[in-house]
Every structure is written in structure tokens, then in C-alpha cells.
Amino acid sequence: MSGAFKLKYEGSKPNANLDIDIWKDGRRVESAGSIGDLFYSPDGQSNNDVEVIISIDTVTMGEKDESAIIKVSTIGRSGSSLLTFQIPWDKKLTARGLIQDAEPRSFTAEQAVHVFGMQATSSNTMRTSDLSTESLSQTKWALVFTLQFED
């Protein structure tokens, strides 16, 4: 499963982090990782436009253990980077689908914003979801990417 989105800011550079959280039964239960300062530029120049590409794959490790490998690539003016995260995966979660916006949207840095996600279920019946908290509260299991802003 993979997807991509672009982030762009206007005004002064925000200190934006991309948090990766695991949701179960419609609630955030634990962190799966975080990427700090998405708009970082080593040369100090403006880097106000970043593309984020996400890939999520499951891998079997031995007879019983299965993991999900989350790859996050960021591409901006100063270059690109690739980060990987690994989380345990429940083999019963056989149906999977992406949660992402089809249309551009604008927001302020006043509050956290869900920007991407993947949901999974063991029932082979999946609801169509969006990134609103109300919709995420209906998911069985989800991996949610949230843009957080620090002062």
C-alpha cells in the first residue's frame, strides 16, 4: 500500500512533525514513530514545499511473527530522505485500505491535522473513511499520520 501528498506553508517556517500513530477500535493507542521538522533545510534557505511518499508493506518473519514496514520518503528543495519504521502486524487484519484526501485543503498551525492513513480489519468488510476524527473513530485498526506543530 502506498500514497503521497504535498505539504506547503505560507508565512514563517513552522516546526512541523509528522507523527505516526496506531489506532484500535476508533482510538489512538500508541505511537509508531515520528519525523521531526519536516521543512528542515541544511543550508538555511526556505524549504516551504515538501512531498511525502509513504509505503506500508507486511513481511513474515518466521512461522508466527509478522511485521509492517513503514517507509516514509520526504522530498524538498534541499533533497530527499527515506526513513523506515517497523511495527508488529496482526495476521488477522486481512483487508486493508488507504485513507487520504482527494482534494487539496488548507489549515492553520493552531492544531494537529490528520494527513494520511491506512485502515485494516479482520472481517473483510471495510467502511469508507476519511481523515476526520469522527470517521477514524469507526475504524477497527488504523495507522494515522498526523501533522503536529510545535512552538
**pLDDT (tens digit per residue) in 13-25:** 888 999 999 999 9
Grid coordinates 524538498 are at which residue? 76
Could you tell me which residues come within 8 angstroms of residue 95 by beta carbon, excluding any fewer than 6 positions away? 120, 121, 122, 123, 124, 125, 126
pLDDT, residue 102, reads 79
Query: CB-hemisphere CA count at 13 Å for 135?
Result: 16
pLDDT, residue 57, reads 93
**96-126 pLDDT, tens digit each:** 999 988 788 888 888 899 999 999 999 988 8
CA-closest candidate to residue 117, choices 13, 10, 26 = 26
pLDDT (mean) for 62-86: 89
pLDDT, residue 77, reads 82
What's the rounded Cα separation, in Å, for the pair 148 and 145? Answer: 10
* Mean predicted lDDT score pLDDT of the chain: 90
pTM greater than 0.85? yes
Grouping H, G, I as helix, E, B as strand and the rest as coil, residue 26 is coil
* Residue 83 predicted with pLDDT over 80: yes
- The beta strands (E) that lie in 45-122 are given as 49-61, 65-76, 79-88, 95-99, 113-121
pLDDT, residue 60, reads 83
- Percentage of the chain with pLDDT > 90? 62
Let me know how long the chain is: 151
